[in-house]
Amino acid sequence: MSPDLRWFLWVARAEGVSLLLLFGLAMPLKYGAGIPELVQPIGMAHGALFMVYLIALWHTGRVERWGALRYLLGFVASLLPFGTFIFERRLG
Amino acid sequence: MLLHLGLDLLKWIGVLVFVSGLAGSFLLRDPTQQRQAAQWLAAPGLVLVWLGGYGLLTLSGISMMSTWVTGAMLLTLAMLHLALAAVRQPAMRGFYGLFAGLLLLANLLLMIEKPGTVHEQHPTPEAPDEP
């Protein structure tokens, strides 16, 4: 596995975990328990990781010479819970 | 007070890590070290800067839609992109490095001048009904 791909996978995992924390913890706490305080910080962390993920997707794809479909799958994966983990398996 | 201090520290650590990563990606000679600087310093540093900065904005009641905040976020993304591009394209490293340096200066100016600051709108408490 190339160093670039290894780095991308770590970024993807971080982004995936942040999305799961947002959807699985912060939002249920807000709407289920009336505790909205976690949404903003976790949301911001996810936002930052999402932007870094997109940049990492672009650069890693250029190094690995991915086609347009793989870029698209990578982008869509970042929007779905567990998506980046599934995308990681496809890359592996 | 303690929270503000902690967030300030987080942001400054992020800035140090981010700028170190940028510097390493443009200035180091070994391609492996350049890649490591861009990927494992600059990228996580950006996340820390954004987190710390967001926390400070929230405490200060300043909106993320303020010109200087949005501009700074875009500039840091552009700098990270240039650092990674420089690793991929060694022949362009000097040009990308110079460009990233200019973006860093622009970012500093935004941080100092803070143009277009917008404060968060807080709902005013309703006045009690007249007797």
> Between chain A and chain B, how many beta carbons pairs sit less than 8 Å apart?
44
Nearest CB partner across the interface for A40, out of B40, B58, B81: B58
B128 pLDDT above the threshold of 70: no
Percent of chain B with pLDDT over 70: 92
Residue B130 has pLDDT above 70, yes or no: no
A58 vs B contacts (CB less than 8 Å): 81
Residues 6+ apart with CB under 8 A from B9: B52
Average pLDDT, chain B: 90
CA–CA gap between residue A53 and residue A59 (Å, rounded): 10
Q: Is residue B69 part of a domain?
A: yes
Query: In 10 A of CB B32, how many CB atoms?
Result: 10
Specify the DSSP element, H or E, that contains A79.
Answer: none
Q: How many structural domains compose chain B? A: 1
The answer to whether residue B120 sits within a structural domain is no
Residue B127, domain member (yes or no): no
Domain that holds residue B92: 2-113
Please state, as a whole number, how many other Cβ atoms lie within 10 Å of the Cβ of residue B41.
21
CA pair distance B44, A4, nearest whole angstrom: 15
The answer to which of B24-28, B39-43, B115-119 has the lowest mean pLDDT is: B115-119
In a domain, B128, yes or no: no
Residue A91: per-residue pLDDT: 87
Q: Which residues contact B33 (CB under 8 A, 6 or more apart)?
A: B24
Q: What per-residue confidence (pLDDT) applies to A85?
A: 94
Residues on chain A touching B55 (C-beta within 8 angstroms): 41
Task: Show which residues on chain A lie within 8 Å of chain B, measured between beta carbons.
Answer: 3-4, 7, 11, 40-41, 44-45, 47-49, 51-52, 55-56, 58-59, 62-63
Q: Are A19 and A74 in contact (CB under 8 A)?
A: no
- Read off the pLDDT of residues B95-115 as tens digits, 9 standing for 90 and up: 999 999 999 999 999 999 998
Choose the weakest-confidence range: A73-77, B13-17, B113-117, B126-130: B126-130
Is residue A74 within 8 Å of A3, Cβ to Cβ?
Answer: no
B47 touches chain A (CB under 8 A): yes
Mean pLDDT of B71-79: 96
What is the amino acid identity at position B57? L
First to last CA, chain A: 9
Residue of chain B minimizing CA distance to A6: B39
Interface test mutation site (partner A, options B41, B54, B76, max chain A beta carbons within 10 A)? B54
- Please report whether residue B47 resides in a domain: yes
Q: What is the pLDDT of residue B74?
A: 96
Residues of A in contact with B58 (CB under 8 A): 40
Do A56 and B40 lie within an 8 Å CB cutoff?
no
**At B121, which amino acid appears?**
Q
Q: Which residue in A87, A92, A84, A90 sits closest to A12, CA to CA?
A: A84
Nearest to B77 among A51, A59, A62 (CB): A51
Q: Does B51 contact chain A (CB < 8 Å)?
A: yes
Whole-number pLDDT of residue A82: 94
Compute the radius of gyration of chain B from its Cα atoms.
19
- Lowest average pLDDT, out of A17-31, B79-93, B117-131, goes to B117-131
Mean of the pLDDT values across residues A72-85?
A: 95
Closest to B39 (Cα-Cα) out of A75, A51, A8: A8
